[in-house]
Amino acid sequence: MTRRVVITGLGVISSIGIGWEKFWGSLLNGKSGISPVTSFDTSNQFTHNGGEVKSFRPEEFIDKDQIHSLSRASQMAFAAAKLAMRDAKLTAQDILKMQGGTCIGTNIGSIQTVEKVDELIVNEQRNDINDSLIRQIPTNTTSSVIAREFNLRGTNMMFSTACSAGNYAIGYGFDLIKLNRAQIMIVGGSDSLSKVAFTGFNQFSAIAPQRCQPFDKNRKGMMVAEGSGVLVLESLENALNRKVPIYGEVLGYGLSCDAYHMTTASIEGIVRCMSNALKETHLSANNIDYISAHGTGTVTNDKNESAAIRVVFGDHCNKIPISSIKSMLGHTMGAASAIEAIACSLVIKNDMIPPTINYETPDPDCDLDCVPNHSRKHTVKIALNNSYAFGGNNACLVVKKYTDE
């Protein structure tokens, strides 16, 4: 359990950029990825905007004979994994010499494919469904295609803990390396934009009509989005032997279950999750320099998360910059915390904090430094990545600036 676990590769597919360089540049510039949804008809919905990745071209990452056997969520995860592996200077041949595995998180996996099949059967009364569509449906397809492509012959796992699934996947990969059951893990999350999610959140009246405004007094809701974030984790010894750059070190994570409500996060559950993360990593509240908030932009979530941060960090929270990149990306569901973990890795590497955009009116219930509208230079040694999910599935990841001490 004394092995140190570091981050050596980052891959992002997002509405504000493909590849971590474009993604990071857009974050610092406060670029919004929200636009009218075009992948399905929203005319009967209450709202019409989302975080659609319109620049994603799967053929740039995947062989043509493979594309049709993968759902959009799997395509994005596959592409993000390729980017992360390339960033970490790894090939499938390199992996053959290592103990390697993959853990990917998702909310509703290949639901977009299920929707296509449903339309063919119900609306068009067809029974000649192409085999390639059926092969896309199983959720494990996402991690399996990554494992097959990169010779990852160890643990192969999918997490479906809703919108905290990315952090769960990263945490499990961390554990396997820490326990010497793997040298290297490809971890992260992926979800595609779907009618099911879009319609569901519209029926909850949880989607903002135009933009996402986390922590703003006049916030009106979240933005449903899609994307994928994948990280390469490896033991410090392995990374040093390979002589590759290190983005940061994963110190650990905390989990909790609210056991309270299917859609509303409880303050007590969020407090317990952050407290567990601090206890697990032997840190005090004063050690945290930045918090990547769950920050969905809904009235209740932002209010409860702010209250929980006040409980855990006390007066120190007045000194902690706390931002929500969902203000730019929208909520990428099972990919959200993985993409935010990538943002945290870049924050601690560059000592720059992305803003919470669309912030106009302070809310007394969210009295935090949410880094409004403009990125900020700030020394960050340790970052906390918060994620909370339907069903009360909470996960907080702790990432530290790498030093050789």
Q: Are residues 228 and 279 in the same domain?
A: no
**Domain closes at, from 201, 220, 242:** 242
Phi first, then psi: give them for residue 176, nearest 5 degrees.
-60, -40
Classify residue 203 as left (phi > 0), alpha (psi -120 to 50) or beta.
alpha
Residue 405 is assigned to a structural domain of this protein? no
Q: Are residues 234 and 291 in the same domain?
A: no
In angstroms, the CA 150 to CA 186 distance is: 10
Q: To which residue do tokens 């959720």 refer? A: 139
Whole-angstrom CA distances from 97 to 94, 264, 280, 331 are 6, 45, 31, 37
DSSP letter string over 258-283? --S-SSPPPHHHHHHHHHHHHHHTT-
**Domain closes at, from 193, 217, 242:** 242
Both structure tokens of 54: 């319109």
User: Facing residues of 224 across strands?
Assistant: 331
Q: Total structural domains in the chain? A: 2
Q: What's the half-sphere exposure (Cβ side, CA atoms, 13 Å) at 152?
A: 29
Of residues 220, 191, 100, the one with CA closest to residue 149: 100
**Domain closes at, from 211, 242, 273:** 242
Task: State pLDDT tens for residues 324-345.
Answer: 999 999 999 999 999 999 999 9
In angstroms, the CA 269 to CA 393 distance is: 9
Of residues 396, 368, 374, 384, the one with CA closest to residue 302: 368
Question: How many other β-carbons are positioned within 10 Å of the β-carbon of residue 327?
Answer: 31
Whole-angstrom CA distances from 55 to 15, 22, 51, 194, 232 are 8, 12, 12, 17, 24
In angstroms, the CA 97 to CA 375 distance is: 41
Give the pairing of strands 248-257 and 290-292. unpaired
Q: Residue 127 maps to which CATH number?
A: 3.40.47.10
Residue 294 is assigned to a structural domain of this protein? yes
Identify the domain containing residue 167 by its residue range: 5-242
Classify residue 142 as left (phi > 0), alpha (psi -120 to 50) or beta.
alpha
**Burial (CB count <10 Å: 0-12, 13-18, 19+), residue 47:** buried
Sign of the C-alpha dihedral, residues 326, 84, 185, 146? positive
The three-class DSSP label of residue 208 is coil
Q: To which residue do tokens 């010499």 refer? A: 97
Residue 378 is assigned to a structural domain of this protein? yes
In angstroms, the CA 271 to CA 190 distance is: 26
Sign of the C-alpha dihedral, residues 321, 326, 331, 336? negative
Per-residue pLDDT of the chain (405 residues; tens, 9 = 90+): 789 999 999 999 999 999 999 999 999 999 999 999 999 999 999 999 999 999 999 999 999 888 888 889 999 999 999 999 999 999 989 998 999 999 999 987 666 666 666 666 667 677 766 666 666 666 778 888 899 999 999 999 999 888 999 999 999 999 999 999 999 999 999 999 988 888 888 888 899 999 999 999 999 999 999 999 999 999 999 999 999 999 999 999 999 998 877 777 889 999 999 999 999 999 999 999 999 999 999 999 999 999 999 999 999 999 999 999 999 999 999 999 999 999 999 999 999 999 999 999 999 999 999 999 999 999 999 999 999 987 789 999 999 999 987
Task: State pLDDT tens for residues 49-76.
Answer: 999 999 999 999 999 888 888 889 999 9
Question: How many other β-carbons are positioned within 10 Å of the β-carbon of residue 46?
Answer: 12
Q: Are residues 290 and 208 in the same domain?
A: no
User: Facing residues of 9 across strands?
Assistant: 232
Q: Are residues 269 and 364 in the same domain?
A: yes
In angstroms, the CA 29 to CA 369 distance is: 18
Both structure tokens of 9: 């590769």
- Please state whether the predicted TM-score (pTM) of the whole model is above 0.75: yes
Q: Are residues 156 and 279 in the same domain?
A: no
Q: Are residues 160 and 301 in the same domain?
A: no
State the catalytic residues.
Answer: 163, 294, 331
